[in-house]
Chain A
């Protein structure tokens, strides 16, 4: 067999190093290497180094798995975390039901329309955006934190409101970047943060009619949202967190934006 029977490319050489060639292809590479001693030497060295790397890491593979990495233990920790989240979610639902019932009885002649309040609609928009982009690995943000000034200037211009990125480092979250989204009748901005373990948090802002100023808490699935309206803009902070974890962050964001329109 001659070299001309098959063309030997880098792909073939790599597959040969990894012992993933069979039959004719393997024979062709061997023949090619026999005819090119310099290349043969390189490939032999790379095969040897691959074997050395494997054996160097063998002991790590053979180690017993520490208790903290046992799935049963990790799940037990998750269950207690979830139980806590459920308690606060249930409390929020109870409060909401109590409020809604009171509203209903106070207003028996003309029941309030069931259209979502502006705050609820901001919370829904924020939640949808969170769910869409937080799982995004390749492009979680449109503009990264490296271009923070440009990002904020751009989003501010499109929103029609000066937007600053609140510093959430006291809570362990760092700005990753942001993106522009459709929201309500205009544009919405989403800023994304993450913490050391890769947990993500978003701040969502869009122009909104309405005068409701109270914080609204909403939990859907694992994502919790605090939303509020301030001076013609709706704001929402969303994260996979409990109400108690998220509230101080929402308050810090609120203080960060207050009076900066």
Chain B
């Protein structure tokens, strides 16, 4: 049985469920002329959701439905970031979608449902909620990737994403069943408690491996990264932006809930797995990114390497480590939105600005956009005074504190390799002459320009507020 209190705890999620249905319904009654109304309604819906998440946040962790649902500060930070990232996507996607006749209401309702899945996932208190949240997030995401049904590339990407995603959730589910078998419970806290007394340690470890595989897939860490470049390249650019930011945030929640809340006592086992995945992701991501000519594919490999950085922090299973990982993931999401946002701003009807060479001489054509992109690139490379630098420092610090000095050294060597391809983008924009045959969008949408600028300049400003934000992150993990 549940009480009214339980409903209050999940009020933001309840609200968003209703709102997603309403957006879907509302859109049915609009003709194409008035589709903009859906856009604005969707944005308002998200803003209200942010308000509800923040406003209703209890000072202490509360649970609902017998521990199935947890509302704590970590979930709050993740939810707010996911909502912000989605709003950014909505605003930046509109002109792009309009140009390609993809400006349809389903885009909004699918996205909102997907976000809803993330919100459940990061608040999960039991294996069931974890799985439900993950599926609710993934299924709309598969559909979103296939939004442009006339594009073969998109369909291919969607099918790849779907098949591999299904495989990963299958593995995750299998792992969960093993853990259930070993502990006799689905509740994460109960699992934690049962590990001390269980007779089936090997079964647990066996299950753990499958969970780590599922988590690795969600992050896109090597060796479970193969879907990522294809999805980035094939998906419509706004969706690629969504896929680059939101699942990573969800994965932080997933990893924390499963590995720390549930299987914390096995940290000695899983931290080494994460460390190895971190090292592999860093090496493969950075090295392969150098060879890319497609900008979106390059960003995909860069994402893989950044996930290596997140794992670097997670391999130090302390509140400090988790806080750094959370910090990094939020920072990463907001850097990706800038990088993709510039691409969206420069694309026009019939032309996707998604090759690196399309950016040639951008400084002469559109200095402001070039500046935004340069900020994103330097931030991704972790050069001060940009926000990515603070994130990198915190993550490296977490690794060193966790006794993983070797991993930190691997990470920085890879960062040097990675620097090259970020700098190449800047080089192409600033030092090369514009390509004659490339025609960029003459004047990007005003809302897009403003939001993009705020987002990018925020990457500079946030270095000053890193302290405040890191304190929140630490607070989320009870430091």
A, B co-complexed: no
**B interface residues, Cβ below 8 angstroms from A:** none
Identify the A interface with B (CB < 8 A). Answer: none
